[in-house]
Amino acid sequence: MLGTEEHNLFEDSIEFPDFDAKMRLDQLIGLDDYKIRLTKMLSVLIHPRSIESWINNFHGDHYDVLGNILNRPPLIVLAGDVGSGKTALAENISDAVARLNNINVILLPLSLSSRGQGRVGEMTQLVSSAFKKTKDLAKKYKSESGKSKGAVVLLIDEADALAQSRESSQMHHEDRAGVNAFIRGIDSLASEGLPAAVIMCTNRLDALDPAVKRRAAEILFFKRPSLEQRKSVLEQYLAPFDLDGETINKIAEITGESKTRNYGFSFSDITQRLIPAIILDAYPNKAVTKESALDVALSIQPTPPFGGTIYE
């Protein structure tokens, strides 16, 4: 799908629909609202005919009211703490979009290792190349009828490292030029009406350049899971161990805020640290019990928020 140069620029691209991606998406428990919102927003940005068909079916041919939606730049920002699920969702949501719209979607994750060594002109060239490859692929999917035959999603993780605010007095000229190139890339995708969109993930929304944030069609804030969300995740992963509802509730409470901290466990704290710890505590000579599960939950501390930021 991609040549040698593109492979140096991007991580492995993925074409959707993809069965493994669907499974990963289904496993993101507690993020249903985010899944629905992101699927709708991304669908409209890369496949505008979908909302045109909707309004024709339900409200007649009043296409003029869609202007505020269809004229937005094709950029979505996912902001939130480490472990909140935003990157996993960004990596796999194109599967839901592809299935909903019955089209192929290619994901191009910008490689972290390709972001340059700070040499003059390098960051600008990398950003420009990423948008050029995105546009070249998207042009192949554009149809004269206006109905997309497919779409491209450019994924930029740790976006604050690429599009940090130009207002900083300590910002290097080369970094400013890279942000300018990024803004030009977003504007060109919008002006050419290509079936393509950009998803940016960041732990530091306040570090993004204001012009980038203004161009975002949507900024989704990812919070640490609520009590009910923690219970849902725990019920899913601890179901094989026949723990009663009271025990699940206690673990859900333990993993929330406490007298000594104003933050609870992140999704990844629960799925990648707590659940494995509960299992390994019992392995290989005993069964998981409510007593052992509670003891393990009490022994683990959640990952502190990135930079001390709590998204409300």
For 183-200, give the DSSP string: HHHHHHHHHHT-SEEEEE
Count helices and strands in the chain by DSSP H and E runs? 14, 6
Domains and CATH numbers, the chain: 4-222 (3.40.50.300), 227-308 (no CATH)
Task: Find the mean pLDDT for residues 130-155.
Answer: 88
Question: What is the percent of the chain with per-residue pLDDT over 90, rounded to a whole number?
Answer: 68
Which pLDDT band holds residue 2 (cuts at 50, 70, 90)? low
Compute the mean pLDDT over every residue in the chain, rounded to the nearest whole number.
89
Instruction: Identify the H or E element spanning 79.
Output: strand 75-80
**Taking 80 as the threshold, does the pLDDT of residue 96 lie above it?**
yes
**Beta strand pairing call for 14-16 and 104-109:** antiparallel
**Taking 70 as the threshold, does the pLDDT of residue 3 lie above it?**
no
**Bridge partners of 261?**
258
Give the pLDDT score at 35. 96
Give the pLDDT score at 170. 64
List Cβ neighbours of 232 (8 Å cut-off, separation of 6 or more).
Answer: 29, 30
Among 157, 114, 152, 156, smallest CA distance to 136 is for 152
Residue 271 φ then ψ, to 5°: -80, -30
**Tens digits of per-residue pLDDT, 215-239?**
999 999 999 999 999 999 999 999 9
**Taking 60 as the threshold, does the pLDDT of residue 5 lie above it?**
no
* Highest mean pLDDT (candidates 4-8, 145-149, 269-273): 269-273
Task: Find the mean pLDDT for residues 160-166.
Answer: 81
Among 269, 255, 312, smallest CA distance to 83 is for 269
User: Which amino acid would we find at residue 68?
Assistant: N
Residue 154 φ then ψ, to 5°: -95, 120
Under 8 Å between Cβ of 105 and 16: yes
**Taking 50 as the threshold, does the pLDDT of residue 38 lie above it?**
yes
Give the pLDDT score at 4. 46
Task: Find the mean pLDDT for residues 69-96.
Answer: 94
Under 8 Å between Cβ of 201 and 89: no
Which pLDDT band holds residue 296 (cuts at 50, 70, 90)? very high
Q: How far apart are CA 185 and CA 181, in angstroms?
A: 6
Among 245, 255, 246, smallest CA distance to 278 is for 255
